[in-house]
Amino acid sequence: MTVGVLGAGQLGRMLALAGYPLGLDFLFLDREPGTPSHQVAPSLFGSFTDPALLDEIASRSEVVTFDWENVPAEALERLAQRTRIAPPPLALATAQDRLLEKELFARLKVPTNRNRAVDSLADLRRAAAEIGLPGVLKTRRLGYDGKGQQVIRGDKDIESAWQALGNSPLLYEAMVPFDYEVSAIGVRSRSGEFRMYPLNRNLHQGGILRLTRAPWKSAALEAAARRTLKRVMEHFDYVGVLAIEFFVQRGRLLANEMAPRVHNSGHWTIEGAITSQFENHLRAICGMPLGDTAARGHSGMLNLIGAMPQREWLLGQAGLHLHDYGKSPRPGRKLGHVTFVETTARAADLRANRLLRRIESL
């Protein structure tokens, strides 16, 4: 069975690496060669809206999925007439637009932070007055890893934030004085079977995920996250893996955003769970039974960002697993990650903190 994948980044690469043992084949589509997935699987190159390329991937794949959130909606519409697509294009279209995402959370009664659409400087002034300061102005589309965001701390920042982002549709939202951040990753099969991984506790730096620790044991938060994931997945009749990122404030979850795909905060599941998020995504979209999502121990995952630390040092650390995405270094770019599994939560916390300090100094 061949799985077509739109976007050929590191998520696609890890999907392919998880799929080969299941006997799956892959065909990627991306704009240019040399991407992380292209290094491990056959790929087509060109525009995501090229009808000939889309028809080729549709005719050669039993199911098409995506590893990139900004795949144009029209590409999925064309594919949907020719082959099976999972997750549902509507879930992707919703996640592509922060306003649609917030409206979905409101409709499904998922608590989220206060927000307003902003299309003019006057709108922004009104939103800041109604919702209050500080706040964050974000582009509705095409933002990732903290890009397309401006923090507005006082009235004096309003004009410059508008100057920086004002040529796209925007969303203003309250700055959340969160205690910490978590994410929940679930998987749903074609027949509606649902499983959730243990919660992830995430540390972001400069808007980019740096560190994940899992399982983050909190029965109350996990139950709330499970309800939210199920509700969102049932709404879309979802098939595949879905991640939702939350702020935790005074013991309550506030949804920040969702990702209709495998997620960076779930990379620990490759070594740290019975079945990885990548394998479970493939099982779901290929109509296979889902695998066990239980953790094998207490995992940590650190992203390697901007520059690769010395490989010899990393590989010299007992039980540290290196994932190198084969990308060229660039500031702020995710080049790889490392994971480890410990037998106690305390040992995992200590190791994660030590590793973070060490990698920052390398």
Distance separating alpha carbons of residues 91 and 240, to the nearest angstrom: 11
Residue nearer to ligand AMP on the CB measure, 35 or 256: 256
CB contact at 8 A, 356 and 303: no
CB contact at 8 A, 37 and 5: yes
* CB of 123 vs ligand AMP, minimal distance in Å: 18
* CB of 313 vs ligand AMP, minimal distance in Å: 28
Residue nearer to ligand AMP on the CB measure, 204 or 311: 204
* CB of 134 vs ligand AMP, minimal distance in Å: 8
CA 213 to chain centroid, in Å, comes to 16
* CB of 212 vs ligand AMP, minimal distance in Å: 12
* CB of 176 vs ligand AMP, minimal distance in Å: 4
CB contact at 8 A, 273 and 176: no
* CB of 133 vs ligand AMP, minimal distance in Å: 12
Residues 6+ apart with CB under 8 A from 339: 267, 268, 270, 271, 272, 299, 300, 301, 302, 320, 321, 323
Q: Give the C-alpha distances (Å, rounded to integers) separating 265 from 77, 113, 197, 243.
A: 29, 21, 11, 9
Distance separating alpha carbons of residues 3 and 66, to the nearest angstrom: 10
- Give the closest residue to 261 by CA, choosing from 9, 2, 53: 9
SS3 (DSSP) at 353: helix
Residue nearer to ligand AMP on the CB measure, 166 or 207: 207
Burial class (CB in 10 A: 0-12, 13-18, 19+), 16: buried
Distance separating alpha carbons of residues 116 and 137, to the nearest angstrom: 10
CB contact at 8 A, 51 and 72: no
* CB of 47 vs ligand AMP, minimal distance in Å: 26
* CB of 247 vs ligand AMP, minimal distance in Å: 7
The half-sphere exposure of 102 on its side-chain side, counting CA atoms within 13 A, is 18
Residue nearer to ligand AMP on the CB measure, 140 or 327: 140
Residue nearer to ligand AMP on the CB measure, 212 or 277: 212
Decide the pairing of beta strands 252-259 and 240-249: antiparallel
Residue nearer to ligand AMP on the CB measure, 90 or 175: 175
* CB of 58 vs ligand AMP, minimal distance in Å: 31
- Give the closest residue to 212 by CA, choosing from 338, 118, 105: 338
Residue nearer to ligand AMP on the CB measure, 153 or 311: 153
* CB of 354 vs ligand AMP, minimal distance in Å: 23
SS3 (DSSP) at 332: coil
Residue nearer to ligand AMP on the CB measure, 115 or 293: 115
Residue nearer to ligand AMP on the CB measure, 173 or 271: 173
Residue nearer to ligand AMP on the CB measure, 256 or 303: 256
Burial class (CB in 10 A: 0-12, 13-18, 19+), 120: exposed
Question: Under the rule (CB under 6 A), what is the footprint of ligand AMP?
Answer: 113, 136, 143, 146, 173, 175-176, 181, 204, 207, 245, 256-257
